[in-house]
């Protein structure tokens, strides 16, 4: 019973960390009861702000269509209410009614108005062996690289879901702003956001992300690794233009989005790193909200805000830290 509760606490911490990062709930620095790292910090190249990024075009407001009365009464299926576009940093559902989450101790105060600033500190007992999630998608590796990378499509944050459930996956846009699927369920067409920039770190150096990046990454996944299964039904991929990717499946598969583009390890890596030395174990450059600033061995990762992140106003946090604390009681005491 104690072990179950501890596991529940760890799961809760991870969920809350993701909610804060994605929804903008700024956190003040938290004192963590751990010894100062003795290893020499590794300083990563600082991402330099770039100019000319094009903000993503907001989705058009839903249109209400009035039905015309007919002479004979007809029975119509109930229509869902139009979805409300969430404003960054705000909740669009009642956070007290989230399936899959239980608060064993003090429940967070969801009424607090988000504000910019602060550093989120997240601790766990697992140590990352390296940062190459394309060959190993253990939770320690994915947790360490998730703030840096982005996916074509993601599972929506819990508070963004139509029916909030921390254990489910409702696909939502990230690098792709929209997508369609053919009538036969085999051809998926993804429309990319325009103006998305890679972090301004060599060898990628802040260039624009294009459809060729998505195709290259998916070709890499299909060659092997933890993401291979999610793309096993892919027959071919095409890039009609720099902002469009089409994926043709061998046969229809309804869960393609969840298991493929939104899969656990389907983060898009840059081709330049592969061309340089292929060492994704040490080089972490993406299009995500944070850039790795310093690395203290395998004890602590320090992230700083990505000044060129493609979502306006995000992230609200100035930075984040991932710490390794082996004593679970110490982790619990820290929060």
- Give per-residue pLDDT as tens, 187-245: 999 999 999 999 999 999 999 999 999 999 999 999 999 999 999 999 999 999 999 99
Q: What is the per-residue pLDDT for 21?
A: 40
Structure confidence at residue 115 as a pLDDT band (50, 70, 90): confident
Which one of 14-23, 119-128, 154-163 scores highest in mean pLDDT?
Answer: 119-128
Q: What is the per-residue pLDDT for 106?
A: 67
Q: What is the per-residue pLDDT for 95?
A: 60
| Least reliable range by pLDDT among 86-95, 122-131, 226-235 | 86-95
Q: What is the per-residue pLDDT for 48?
A: 55
- Is the pLDDT at 119 greater than 90? The verdict is yes
- Is the pLDDT at 16 greater than 80? The verdict is no
Give the tens place of pLDDT for each residue, 95-106.
Answer: 666 666 666 666
CA distances in angstroms from 85 to 90, 292, 316, listed in the order given = 11, 31, 19
Structure confidence at residue 308 as a pLDDT band (50, 70, 90): very high
Structure confidence at residue 84 as a pLDDT band (50, 70, 90): very low
Closest CA relative to residue 134, chosen from 263, 256, 43: 263
- Is the pLDDT at 88 greater than 70? The verdict is no
Sign of the alpha-carbon dihedral angle for 330, 292, 276, 191: positive
166 vs 17, which has greater pLDDT? 166
Domains of the chain: 2-54+103-334 (3.40.190.10)
Q: What is the per-residue pLDDT for 74?
A: 43
What is the mean pLDDT of the segment spanning 124-149?
A: 94
Q: What is the per-residue pLDDT for 304?
A: 97
The structure tokens listed for 56 are 């993503």
- Is the pLDDT at 67 greater than 60? The verdict is no
What is the mean pLDDT of the segment spanning 42-51?
A: 57
Structure confidence at residue 170 as a pLDDT band (50, 70, 90): confident
Gap between the Cα atoms of 155 and 161, Å rounded: 9
Structure confidence at residue 94 as a pLDDT band (50, 70, 90): low
What is the mean pLDDT of the segment spanning 299-321?
A: 94
What is the mean pLDDT of the segment spanning 71-93?
A: 43
Which single residue is written with the structure tokens 């697992």? 126
Q: What is the per-residue pLDDT for 156?
A: 83
13 vs 163, which has greater pLDDT? 163
Strand partners, 99: 165
Q: What is the per-residue pLDDT for 285?
A: 97
Average pLDDT, whole number, for the chain? Answer: 77
Q: What is the per-residue pLDDT for 328?
A: 77
Q: What percent of the chain has pLDDT over 90?
A: 53
Q: What is the per-residue pLDDT for 114?
A: 79
Residues 324/125, Cβ–Cβ less than 8 Å: yes
65 vs 242, which has greater pLDDT? 242
Collapse the DSSP code of 273 into the 3-class scheme (helix H, G, I; strand E, B; otherwise coil) and give the result.
helix
Q: First CA to last CA across the chain, in angstroms?
A: 20
The structure tokens listed for 218 are 């998916």
Structure confidence at residue 7 as a pLDDT band (50, 70, 90): very low
């Amino acid at each position: 019973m104690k072990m179950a509760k501890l596991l529940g606490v760890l799961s809760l911490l991870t969920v809350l960390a993701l909610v804060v990062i994605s929804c903008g709930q700024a956190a003040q620095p938290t004192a963590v009861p751990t010894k100062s790292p003795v290893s020499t910090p590794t300083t990563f190249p600082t991402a330099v702000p770039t100019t000319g990024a094009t903000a993503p075009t907001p989705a058009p407001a839903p249109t209400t269509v009035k039905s015309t009365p007919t002479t004979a009464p007809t029975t119509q299926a109930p229509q869902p209410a139009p979805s409300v576009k969430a404003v960054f940093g705000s909740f669009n559902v009642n956070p007290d009614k989230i399936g899959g989450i239980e608060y064993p101790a003090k429940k967070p105060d969801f009424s607090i108005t988000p504000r910019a600033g602060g550093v989120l500190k997240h601790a766990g007992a697992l140590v990352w062996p390296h940062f190459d999630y394309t060959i190993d998608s253990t939770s320690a590796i994915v947790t360490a690289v998730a703030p840096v990378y982005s996916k074509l499509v993601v599972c929506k944050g819990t508070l963004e879901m139509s029916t909030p459930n921390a254990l489910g996956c409702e696909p939502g846009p990230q690098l792709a702003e929209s997508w369609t699927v053919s009538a036969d369920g085999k051809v998926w067409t993804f429309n990319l956001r325009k103006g998305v920039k890679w972090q301004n770190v060599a060898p990628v150096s802040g260039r624009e992300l294009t459809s060729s990046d998505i195709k290259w990454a998916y070709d890499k996944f299909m060659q092997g690794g933890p993401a291979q299964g999610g793309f096993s039904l892919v027959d071919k991929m095409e890039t009609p233009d720099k902002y469009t990717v089409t994926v043709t499946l061998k046969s229809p598969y309804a869960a393609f989005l969840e298991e493929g583009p939104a899969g656990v390890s389907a983060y898009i890596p840059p081709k330049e790193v592969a061309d340089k030395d292929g060492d994704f174990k040490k080089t972490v450059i993406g299009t995500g909200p944070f850039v790795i600033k310093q690395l203290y061995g395998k004890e602590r990762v320090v992230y700083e805000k990505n000044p060129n992140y493609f979502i306006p106003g995000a992230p609200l946090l100035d930075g984040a830290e991932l710490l390794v604390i082996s004593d679970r009681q110490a982790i619990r005491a820290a929060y």
